[in-house]
Amino acid sequence: MFLLTLSESSNTSYSLGILANVTTAKTTAFIILKLTGYFQLIDPKTDGNSEVIRSFKLCLTNCSPTVLHMLSRGMPSNVEIKAKVSDPTQFAEKAAELSQSEGTIIRQHDTFFNCSQGRLKLRDFMNESGQLIFYERPDTDGPKLSRYSISPTSDPPSLRTVLSDALGVKGEVRKERRLFLIGQTRVHLDTVEGLGNYMELEVVMRPEQTVEDGQQVAEDLMQKLGVSKESLVTGAYMDLLLKGHKET
């Protein structure tokens, strides 16, 4: 059983965390995985509620709709597009011209965890840094709205161990990403292990923009980059791997 705690503490206001009951050879403790990106061990026999000033607890299994609704409030959003890339060299040249840069190379190892709604993944940048990411988006091709929440971590392996034990691993994705910044859009040229070459557009929405505004930005950039509608794909790379898509 998991417990959700919303707490107001001395060093963070209203931090949201998941409590997992952990039994070891020496003691039973609660691990608070705070979505502000750090761990804290609390022994209920000694610490009690010394740090947690206000809390409420909800029983949940994995990531329940109730918890996900709470997590989604106030979440930032993107409009996204994903497509297969047949000529990565040509795509990179167009992206470099539009961004006026050669892009940044980033290695990423994503671990997806079982989640009843949306997707929860741990992104390891392979340099002792990472991000825990929860997001929701429809599995459709073309521009689509994605709502997300991100928490940084300086110890991805330890976080992966806790979440693997608590939720179970759905799968893993390894890729090399070349990142270009074009206006308010992040353009990714990805080489995905087992899948091949893909591109993603992430239009980072401004508060005053509508979904339609973001879709228009994405569609305009699609045309400039030479991305055809026939090359669009649905779902995440994890979904494509689970469906048995092969590298071409």
- 153-187 pLDDT tens trace: 999 999 999 999 999 999 999 999 999 999 999 99
- DSSP 3-state assignment of 158? helix
The neighbouring-strand residues paired with 4 are: 18
Mean pLDDT, to the nearest integer, of 24-37? Answer: 32
Mean pLDDT, to the nearest integer, of 200-225? Answer: 95
Give the C-alpha separation, 114 to 135, whole Å: 13
pTM greater than the 0.75 cutoff: no
Low-confidence winner among 9-13, 17-21, 192-196 (lowest mean pLDDT): 9-13
**CATH class as words, domain 75-242:** mainly beta
Mean pLDDT, to the nearest integer, of 136-140? Answer: 85
Q: Which strand ranges, in their side-by-side order, compose the sheet holding 28-34?
A: 38-42, 28-34, 15-23, 2-7, 59-60
> What proportion of the chain, given as a percentage, has pLDDT over 70?
69
For residue 247, name the pLDDT band (cuts at 50, 70, 90).
low
For residue 227, name the pLDDT band (cuts at 50, 70, 90).
very high
